[in-house]
Amino acid sequence: MQATHGLALSRSRARVIGYAIALALALSALVLALASSARAAEPPHKTYLGSGTSITFGYSQELFNNNFPTENPASFESVAGKPNGVTLDYFHELQAATAGSSSTFSRMINDGCPGETSGSYIGNGNLGHILQFAIPGVHLESPCGYHNVNGFELHHPYKGGKAFKPEVGESQLENVLETIKRENTGTNATHHPIPVITIDLGANDLLAAVKKCEKEVAEGKWSGASGEPPLTECEIVSLPKVIEELETNIGAVLFAIRDGSALCFAECNSAEDQGVNYTGRILFGGFYNPFGSVINVGEELNPGSNFLDFVVNLATHATVAKFGVCYANPQTAPANPALAFNPLMNGEPQFEPERLQAWTNMANTSISPVNGQKNGPDIHPTPLGYEILSKGYTAECG
């Protein structure tokens, strides 16, 4: 009886094991089928959207001077026959990463506006006022003065103005949301959607704060009684408010992109008035410090600026992380310190002057043969600097 009972248990175990194997095989087949279906559903072409300031645009003072007064945006995309600009460089990296696959990056949209602040990026139209109502502390400015005031063309023109200030034109954020909605719905979503967006924003807010402090120092409002140089003293006192305002605006921008259905545009009376809920990848480009040790090791052009920039990067990283956004920090380049614009912060001060001289135009002493204007010192990257920024996107975010 014991032997018979043992044989029955063995047969029972065998049936259970058989069922388990059959179930595993069925699940495996289902997973493979789903994976195959997902690959089949992958669009043949992908679009990359770059958004932000002069960094996104690919600007430098030398290129501006040499292309004056027409300022054809295409003239900023090449220097000495080589690609120029972080957006174009990163697009090429995306293309290389998907080369040979059934779904590749074949389109790029560059929405960058030189001189854009976080306030002008949002603009003072309907969207800006809705965000200002929804998020206390949001501050607004007229959109994209480079185009709307100075009349220079953009790589990707925005539409005409509407709502509160029709004469000033559409803001970059409004254009970004419209572009996402157009490319990620309907037929476009199956042919060339936008799965990746890069954003750089905030450097011009910080520069405005520095200029304000320079003015106040010149007026004698800061004596250096704290033991810091007057300019540093002003910046340290001013920084908390500047950071608070900047992070509020950056948070509002990302809220509009990630959770746009919570907002409504114009009269809010149709589906077209709704925002977007973008679920793709967003990469945010942080801040390098052009006022570090440009000439001599350890002698910052703006004393203490590396530390202040470090603080801003920490705060902005924390802000964007709440929205599932990857932060690429060019100051210290955590994933690859060889890409750090300011290696002083990594304990390698000896490398900072050579990098800032090669990667920015801060040591550019040339004169434009076109308009006779100085090409530097200029905070914007050189073509090599833009390439380093794009490599930082890849190193930090893929």
CATH number at residue 105: 3.40.50.1110
Whether 183 and 230 map to the same domain: the answer is yes
Residues 6+ positions from 234 with CB-CB distance below 8 Å: 213, 216, 217, 221, 222
| Percent residues over pLDDT 90 in the chain | 77
Whether 224 and 351 map to the same domain: the answer is yes
Whether 192 and 160 map to the same domain: the answer is yes
Whether 85 and 216 map to the same domain: the answer is yes
CB of 67 closer than 8 Å to CB of 76: yes
Closest of 142, 62, 83 to residue 384, by C-alpha:
83
CB of 315 closer than 8 Å to CB of 359: no
CA R_g for the chain: 26
Whether 31 and 78 map to the same domain: the answer is no
Domain with 62, as residue range(s), is 45-397
Alpha-carbon distance 315 to 329, whole Å? 12
DSSP helix, strand, coil percent of the chain (3-state; round to 5): 50, 10, 40
pTM: 0.87
pLDDT class for 75, splitting at 50, 70, 90? very high
Asked if the bond preceding 377 is cis, omega within 30° of 0, the reply is yes
CB of 332 closer than 8 Å to CB of 310: yes
Amino acid at site 88: L
Whether 21 and 102 map to the same domain: the answer is no
Residue 263: its pLDDT value, please?
A: 74
Query: In this model, does residue 295 exceed pLDDT 60?
Result: yes
Whether 13 and 78 map to the same domain: the answer is no
Whether 267 and 362 map to the same domain: the answer is yes
Give the count of domains, the chain: 2
DSSP SS3 for 199: strand
Whether 219 and 356 map to the same domain: the answer is yes
Whether 198 and 277 map to the same domain: the answer is yes
pLDDT class for 5, splitting at 50, 70, 90? very low
Q: Which residue is associated with the tokens 């460089």?
A: 89
pLDDT class for 159, splitting at 50, 70, 90? confident
Whether 35 and 49 map to the same domain: the answer is no
Whether 349 and 328 map to the same domain: the answer is yes
In this predicted model, what pLDDT tens digit does every residue of 350-382 receive, in sequence order? 999 999 999 999 999 999 999 999 999 999 999
What are the distances in angstroms from CA 389 to CA 84, 164, 181, 315, 347? 11, 37, 28, 20, 20
